[in-house]
Structure 1
């Protein structure tokens, strides 16, 4: 595990007009192993979009859930799934999609 990532959670703040503003706030930092899995290109209305998926391995945390994200510099990895690969409570594998690709 050689990548230092910030762990962020989604926070909703009232906007004063009955709605809310959603943003992410950092809740910690973790050491991780980041492995790219696939890049899928789709064409939507003449615009090409690339979705890059990654598998991110971290030490077990009880507060890590889907919907959070990891940040490394300007890169953002949205957590889609979280699971304990061998159910012993040591590590978690997160399937993530990279935002902004």
Structure 2
């Protein structure tokens, strides 16, 4: 079993809205994704690094973050956190010490 990970609950001082995708028909055979709020969670956000890349002959970038929150079944890959105007897409979510207390999420914030 993994060693217990010490996380100070006082670090979870930022409030984020957990959002889930809601795909709806666009009336032309496609879909439009709307994001609906699930609930508000307390989080700690720490930047991990930035990455610049080329896509379709255009420079783009992304910023990676580690987000820690209390363990909950509704926090999972494919959802996102909204912090004011910032959007952090959840790429992975796991229990870092298998004790069922916290989730460590690796998230990507698009560089706009």
Q: TM-score by structure 2 length?
A: 0.82
Q: Aligned residues, how many?
A: 100
Correspondence for 1:19 among 30, 33, 43: 30
- What secondary structure sits across from 2:74 in the alignment? coil
Question: Which ranges of structure 2 fall in alignment gaps of 5 or more residues?
Answer: 1-11
What displacement does 1:100 show? 4.1
Correspondence for 1:4 among 2, 7, 15: 15
Higher strand fraction (1 or 2): 1
Q: Which residue of 2 aligns with 1:63?
A: 74
- What secondary structure sits across from 2:43 in the alignment? strand
- 2-side partners of 1:16 and 1:39: how far apart? 38
Q: Which residue of 1 aligns with 2:7?
A: none
- What secondary structure sits across from 1:41 in the alignment? strand
Question: Which ranges of structure 1 fall in alignment gaps of 5 or more residues?
Answer: none
- 2-side partners of 1:87 and 1:49: how far apart? 36
Provide closer, same or farther for how the CA distance between residues 48 and 16 of structure 1 changes in structure 2, counting only shifts above 3 A.
closer
Q: Does 1:37 align with 2:48?
A: yes
Of residues 61-70 and 35-44 in structure 1, the stretch that sits farther from structure 2 once superposed is: 35-44
- 2-side partners of 1:21 and 1:97: how far apart? 21
Q: Which residue of 1 aligns with 2:102?
A: 91
Cα shift readout 1:4-53 (whole Å, capped 9, x = no counterpart): 100000111123343322111111000100000011122442x3222100
